[in-house]
Structure 1
């Protein structure tokens, strides 16, 4: 049986390149959720921000704008393709330092006022150790604010295309419980408990529900859904062109006829404080 691929290898392969190529589209689709994170983080002028799993840089650049010229942003990711894309984007406000590193183990200086993350923390291989390392990067009283997906069933932007494709293709084997993946922290209480185990205080989660515009029309929404999310890998593995076209046709038919096409996204905004 082949060894499972590491997250570093995964995000430095085809997936990381594809997400880098789709940076503008992904930022547009997820913008309502990104805004909820940035507002919930309550960033203040002059703060030092640590962006965990910064990807192509959207949250780091927004944090730089909020914290201003007296602030600083350290943006960390394991994905070389996405960091390369991030480095091409203009920044305004605080200086942004792009760091290729694994936030689970990187020896951060304990100088940050806040650590934030948009859809990055679900992919840690050792979550408790990773959150403990992030806490050590914060000054006493420093904050953490992370956005992660709630359950698969609550996220129509995933379930609608997934259910359609699975009328044609067999359902894939489930991921190992507790392993890295987008819905790892669907249980908000478990996430709060994990933050407490990592040494945080005042840990809490709040529901964030937004409509996501996944395409201007059914065709665009179909292309997006076939490229991003849990069914994308399943479709790429289909070797029979006719079978793949049947799956895409089912996906296209399942998309709402409204223009633009909007489907629901459901997240947790988790916050906590480093007691020092």
Structure 2
């Protein structure tokens, strides 16, 4: 796709409360922890990518592509006769992806700032992918339906979503520790959307997909270790800024600073059993959800 073509398909992004939260609050934190967020999740994605129904020459959408690492992997998979269109609401993330694609000589990927829920897709794609992005849709059914509109009849959508918190000790344990010292966020807390575990319930997600028009819906459990820090100090700092524990720390404000020493010591003790030669490694669990556009 040429630059001119991509510009024609790029309407102005309408900012919402959730999009503003991502750009104002989360983007700086994600940039600080990019090496963990991208490299740490790679161990998880490595189990998923060989299973994706993507072939050479395919046209692919990567919805909520973030730093563009999955879009670049997909572009390599489809080869020079295929193309990947990556969308994300955070332009700063996309800048990194564009630079990485250029550095690797990948010319068959286009990354644009857009809201997946409203982007005017053309139904020309063979495959639509999302890794941990759909969980944050303000309106999940609308977002999933719009992703389906990107597909040809018979096209496949695969999204990776976290299973529930109890199945993800890399996030559950730090949250439990932090809640010993700080209050839970109030109902008025700013948020990035429904949240990372909003698509953990297979019955709920199945109904959302059916309403959005998909058929042949299936779920496959994916269990994998993720790197949460190269050492204990890095893992603790990450948890206090991102994820459920990070939300608690952010909302507690001054109380977090007052009790930082206690919280840090408790997190260090809780994470110590997960120390391995290459860093703090913890278990994660997700659903690989696959569905078809019937046409």
Regarding TM over 0.5, the answer is: yes
Give distance in 2, aligned partners of 1:169 and 1:21.
Answer: 24
Once the two structures are overlaid, the 10-residue window that deviates more, 74-83 or 13-22, is: 13-22
Partner of 2:13: none
Partner of 1:231: 245
Once the two structures are overlaid, the 10-residue window that deviates more, 155-164 or 184-193, is: 184-193
Structure 2: runs of 5+ lacking an equivalent = 1-15
1:66 aligns with 2:82: no
Partner of 1:250: 266
Moved over 3 A (4+): 91-94
1:214 aligns with 2:228: yes
Partner of 1:121: 134
Q: Secondary structure at the match of 1:43?
A: coil
Q: Which has the higher helix share?
A: 2
Give distance in 2, aligned partners of 1:22 and 1:55.
Answer: 13
Q: TM-score, normalised by structure 1?
A: 0.92
Partner of 1:56: 67
1:24 aligns with 2:43: no
- 2:123 corresponds, among 110, 113, 130, to 110
User: Would the aligned equivalents of 1:76 and 1:103 in 2 still touch at CA under 8 Å?
Assistant: yes
Give distance in 1, aligned partners of 2:87 and 2:41.
Answer: 20
Q: Tell me the CA shift for residue 173 of structure 1.
A: 3.9
- 1:82 corresponds, among 80, 88, 93, to 93
RMSD of equivalent CA atoms: 1.9
- 1:139 corresponds, among 145, 152, 164, to 152
- 1:13 corresponds, among 7, 24, 44, to 24
Give distance in 1, aligned partners of 2:46 and 2:203.
Answer: 23
Give distance in 2, aligned partners of 1:103 and 1:119.
Answer: 13
Deviations 1:87-111 (A, max 9, x none): 2213455611111111101101111
Give distance in 2, aligned partners of 1:211 and 1:99.
Answer: 31
- 1:183 corresponds, among 194, 197, 200, to 197
Partner of 1:148: 161
Give distance in 2, aligned partners of 1:171 and 1:60.
Answer: 36
Give distance in 1, aligned partners of 2:169 and 2:137.
Answer: 24
Structure 1: runs of 5+ lacking an equivalent = none
